[in-house]
């Protein structure tokens, strides 16, 4: 599971890094282009401003005068550009660098560049015909005389790329620091989120290892939205664990049932068989004991059949998909008809107190049929001959109530708390037949409990009554 966690984190971190790299490179390129474009636009504005200033000064002074030199020096200092002025022939006559140190004075700008300077100005990347050692950005504008519009010179503004990108470099360093911080924060969030996503998988792996050791009690804590994939996986895993736990419980119960009930008859059969084989039992008595062996063998066969039936019935009753809406009144009447012969044989007076209207319930019809059959079988079996058997159906507060009452021997008070336990076989509580194994009422209890309903019993003064509930259908 650690490898999944690390692989997920590595994939997320790589994706974040690639995204940040693409965004950073794109941003750097866009920012660089924007800075250069903005700077060049400012240089063009500066060139036209120098041209207007020179045109105004030229009315009272020359282009080589001290006043113009001071003006363009001030403009150059405030903008960080280099400014110079040429005469109409392209000869540099004034420069923002201090004379006589300026090396540009007297340099001739090539005629083809001068020819490209129109009213709109000039904006190119050039070394001005060798005036500079490397190409730089150049903006130029014509200087015209007031009134006549005659060109009396040209104003040039230049700067190297490095100077133009100075502010961009500063901004880039700040942007890189912010990006690095955001990247680290994204990695931390990715680390925490990936660990959070891997936690249920770690718990499932740990639970699976416990399942392999036979411990089905562990569950994965549901902290996710049950509607998303991880939440649905956790929910399915826990449902699988529930199913495994129930299956293991049924298996353990079945083994306990087998070991509990088979021990005595198997011991009896083995003892009688050994007695016949070793001569301990006289020959004249062997037929008697052989009959006992036959009876015990048949009882074992019934036992195994009944236990298998109980396990299957419990499994079916616990399946919600088997539950349907049906008429409980009709089901009781149909089940009651199957006991007509036995009731007549014992001369029982059967009193079905059923409502005239249909009572609809939602449950497993086959399982509830088994419940009613077992309770009626128990009542007919232990009712005194000639007594009354009362079967009542009514509803109250959203529940249907079924009551089966017979009159015979009272169940001892000490037996009542255990009457629904498997293999409990007091004379009054056996539910399948006289040689039953004590699973009839146990099955009734399990089916009713699987429907989240209740069943109760009371026995006093020769009257015994079983009452169970079912939920009414909407």
pLDDT at 207: 80
Q: What share of the chain has pLDDT > 70, as a percent?
A: 87
pLDDT at 36: 77
The average pLDDT across 249-275 equals: 75
Backbone angles phi, psi at 369, to 5 degrees: -60, -45
pLDDT band at 431 (very low <50, low <70, confident <90, very high): very low
CATH of domain 2-167: 3.30.450.20
Evaluate whether 229-317 and 322-471 have a shared fold. no
pLDDT at 384: 93
pLDDT at 162: 74
Does residue 274 register a pLDDT over 80? yes
Domain boundaries, the chain: 2-167, 229-317, 322-471
Does residue 281 register a pLDDT over 60? yes
Distance CA 104, CA 108 (A): 9
Does residue 433 register a pLDDT over 60? no
Can you list the positions of beta strands (E) in 266-414?
324-327, 349-353, 360-363, 388-396, 399-407
Other CB atoms closer than 10 Å to residue 288's CB: what's the count?
Answer: 10
pLDDT band at 271 (very low <50, low <70, confident <90, very high): confident
Span 207-261, pLDDT tens digits: 888 877 877 778 877 766 667 777 787 788 888 888 888 777 767 776 776 676 6
Backbone angles phi, psi at 158, to 5 degrees: -135, 160
Q: Which residues pair with 361 in a beta bridge?
A: 326, 472
pLDDT band at 164 (very low <50, low <70, confident <90, very high): low
pLDDT band at 400 (very low <50, low <70, confident <90, very high): very high
Lowest mean pLDDT among 5-14, 69-78, 83-92, 401-410: 5-14
| DSSP helix/strand/coil, 28 | helix
Distance CA 266, CA 270 (A): 6
Does residue 49 register a pLDDT over 80? yes
The average pLDDT across 180-191 equals: 78
Q: What share of the chain has pLDDT > 90, as a percent?
A: 19
pLDDT at 30: 78
Nearest 5 degrees, angle CA 95-CA 100-CA 101?
A: 80
Task: Name the CATH architecture for the domain at 229-317.
Answer: Orthogonal Bundle (1.10)
Please name the fold of domain 322-471.
Answer: Heat Shock Protein 90 (3.30.565)
The two tokens of residue 412 are: 């001892």
The average pLDDT across 441-456 equals: 89
pLDDT at 1: 44
pLDDT at 225: 65
- Give which of 471, 464, 439 is closest to 363, Cα–Cα: 471
Span 335-382, pLDDT tens digits: 998 888 889 999 999 999 999 889 999 998 988 998 999 899 999 999
pLDDT at 422: 67
Lowest mean pLDDT among 1-10, 47-56, 355-364, 435-444: 1-10
Span 307-346, pLDDT tens digits: 677 767 767 777 788 889 999 999 999 999 888 888 999 9
Distance CA 170, CA 176 (A): 10
Residue predicted with more confidence, 443 or 170: 443
Does residue 432 register a pLDDT over 50? no
The average pLDDT across 382-387 equals: 92
pLDDT at 99: 56
The whole-chain average pLDDT of the chain stands at 81
Distance CA 102, CA 394 (A): 118
pLDDT band at 463 (very low <50, low <70, confident <90, very high): very high
Lowest mean pLDDT among 49-63, 95-109, 329-343: 95-109
Other CB atoms closer than 10 Å to residue 262's CB: what's the count?
Answer: 14
pLDDT at 429: 42
The two tokens of residue 460 are: 């006093």
């Amino acid at each position: 599971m650690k490898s999944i966690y690390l692989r997920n984190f590595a994939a997320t971190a790589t994706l974040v890094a690639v995204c940040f790299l693409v965004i950073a490179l794109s941003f750097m390129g866009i920012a660089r282009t924007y800075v250069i474009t903005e700077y060049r636009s400012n240089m063009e504005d500066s060139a036209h401003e120098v041209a207007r200033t020179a045109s105004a000064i030229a009315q009272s002074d020359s282009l080589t005068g001290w006043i113009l030199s001071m003006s363009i020096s001030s403009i150059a200092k405030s903008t960080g550009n280099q400014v110079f002025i040429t005469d109409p022939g392209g000869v540099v006559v004034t420069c923002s660098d201090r004379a006589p140190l300026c090396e540009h004075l007297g340099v001739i700008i090539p005629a083809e560049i001068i020819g490209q300077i129109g009213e709109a100005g000039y904006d190119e990347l050039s070394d001005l015909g060798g005036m500079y050692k490397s190409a730089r950005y150049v903006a130029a504008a014509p200087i015209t005389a007031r009134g006549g519009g005659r060109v009396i010179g040209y104003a040039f503004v230049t700067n190297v790329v490095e100077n133009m990108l100075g502010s961009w470099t500063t901004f880039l360093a700040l942007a890189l620091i912010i990006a690095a911080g955001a990247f680290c924060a994204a990695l931390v969030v990715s680390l925490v989120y990936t660990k959070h996503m891997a936690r249920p998988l770690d718990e499932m792996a740990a639970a699976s290892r416990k399942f392999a050791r036979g411990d089905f009690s562990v569950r994965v804590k549901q902290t996710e939205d049950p509607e998303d994939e991880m939440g649905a996986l956790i929910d399915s895993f826990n449902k699988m664990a529930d199913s495994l736990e129930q299956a293991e419980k049924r298996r353990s119960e079945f083994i306990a049932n087998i070991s509990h009930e088979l021990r005595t008859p198997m011991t009896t059969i083995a003892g009688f068989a050994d007695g016949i084989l070793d001569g301990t039992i006289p020959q004249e008595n062997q037929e008697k004991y052989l009959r006992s062996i036959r009876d015990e063998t048949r009882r074992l066969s019934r036992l195994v059949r009944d236990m298998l039936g109980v396990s299957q019935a419990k499994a079916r009753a616990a399946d919600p998909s088997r539950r349907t809406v049906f008429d409980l009144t009709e089901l009781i009447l149909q089940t009651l008809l199957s006991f007509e012969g036995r009731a007549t044989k014992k001369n029982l007076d059967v009193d079905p107190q059923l409502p005239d209207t249909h009572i609809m319930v939602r449950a497993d019809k086959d399982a509830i049929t088994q419940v009613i059959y077992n309770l009626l079988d128990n009542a007919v079996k232990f009712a005194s001959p000639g007594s009354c058997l009362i079967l009542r159906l009514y509803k109250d507060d959203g529940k249907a109530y079924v009551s089966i009452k017979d009159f015979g021997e009272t169940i001892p008070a000490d037996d009542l708390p255990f009457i629904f336990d498997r293999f409990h076989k007091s004379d009054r509580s056996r539910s399948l037949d006289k040689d039953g194994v004590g699973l009839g009422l146990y099955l009734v209890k399990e089916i009713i409990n699987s429907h989240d309903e209740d069943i109760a019993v009371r026995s006093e003064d020769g009257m015994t009554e079983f009452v169970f509930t079912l939920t009414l259908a909407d």
